[in-house]
Amino acid sequence: MTERMAGHTTGNTTGRMINKSLHLRFGKYTAIGRISFLTNMAYIAELLWRTVFMALIIFIFSQLWAVIYSGTGALVLGGLTYQQMIWYLVMTETIALARPRIDALIDQEVKNGDVAYRLSKPYSYLLYHYVSYMAEAVMRLVINFAIGSIIAYLTAGGIQVSLSAILLFLPAALVGLSIEFLVRACIGLGAFWVEDTESFLNLYEKALFILGGMLIPLELLPETFRRISAVLPMNFVLYRPARLFAAFDVQAVWSMFGGQAVWLLLLAALCAVVYRAGVKRINVNGG
């Protein structure tokens, strides 16, 4: 009887220790995310001002696409009606304007030596930046989605959007932003080896605009570009989530999330390798 009670007590103690360990490990990242969220809330006016830029872009392209649809006499282009095309553009802009410039921050920390200071802290350097990045990105995404939907409705009218499309768009966009973080983190970590990483970012941004379907759906690109885009992560950041919302296709859901999962794993592994190689340079060179 006494042995059973002792075993039960030991089990409870072990369970409490595990729970405490998990709380300490993940609680600090929750705190980091909360601090980042509250910090960015202090600049909510700046975030709202960005939507003015979104409204200007959507207005210009709505006029452009109106001319294209009327000029060609087509009711559907790339599988999208005029109304769906505008909503598609709004969703790509919703995601694109939700992306914090994490690459510039990491680049600067590497150059001025702040990365060495971060390494002494009791948390993962990459996870710290990921949590901060996502806390800001989520707030931007929600604001952009709400105001962008109003802009799309006023510009082109409403479209039939199922609840499934709305519920799946948000996690798809968040996973896309996670992929975006890993790409930008790798670019920023390139500062361990090169003086200026801005050129790499410019190349990535141009590829995102074209192969990510930011302004033109991939169906309207030449076949060669569509094939190239299919094997790159950019279309999983913008095109697929936006297309899912504007023209929901249940058969495309699994391929989208499956592709996003594959790229998350590949880019996370690449980012970890680049980071460890960079840290090794700090240890070898002494800072």
What is the residue range of 221's domain?
44-285
Regarding whether 57 and 37 lie in a shared domain, the answer is: no
> Looking at the structure, do residues 106 and 33 belong to the same domain, yes or no?
no
**Is the same domain home to 168 and 33?**
no
- 64 and 81 share one domain: yes
As given in the structure block, the two tokens for residue 169 are 């768009």
- CB-side neighbour CA atoms (13 Å) of 249: 13
In 3D space, the residue among 80, 70, 58 whose CA is nearest the CA of residue 153 turns out to be 58
Q: How many residues does the chain have?
A: 287
Are both 50 and 38 inside the same structural domain? no
Give 46's pLDDT tier (boundaries 50, 70, 90). Answer: low
93, 229: one domain = yes
31 and 104 together in one domain: no
69 and 126 housed in the same domain: yes
Among 231, 181, 237, which Cα is nearest to 212's? 237
List pLDDT tens digits, range 230-257.
888 999 999 999 999 988 888 888 889 9
Count of domains forming the chain: 2
pLDDT on residue 112: 76
For tokens 């690449």, the residue is 270
pLDDT at residue number 17: 43
Structure token pair of residue 190: 């390139």
Q: What is the largest CA-CA distance in the chain?
A: 88
Lowest mean pLDDT among 8-17, 158-167, 170-179, 251-260: 8-17
User: pTM to 2 decimals?
Assistant: 0.82
Report residue 80: phi and psi, to 5°. Answer: -125, 135
Collapsing DSSP to helix, strand or coil, 36 comes out as helix
In this structure, are 3 and 24 located in the same domain?
A: yes
So what's the pLDDT on residue 250? 84
Residue 37 shares a structural domain with residue 48: no
User: What's the rounded Cα separation, in Å, for the pair 86 and 63?
Assistant: 10
Together in a domain, 22 and 87: no
89 and 37 assigned to the same domain = no
pLDDT-wise least confident of 18-27, 59-68, 83-92, 189-198: 18-27
Closest CA to 239 of 224, 223, 251, 221: 221
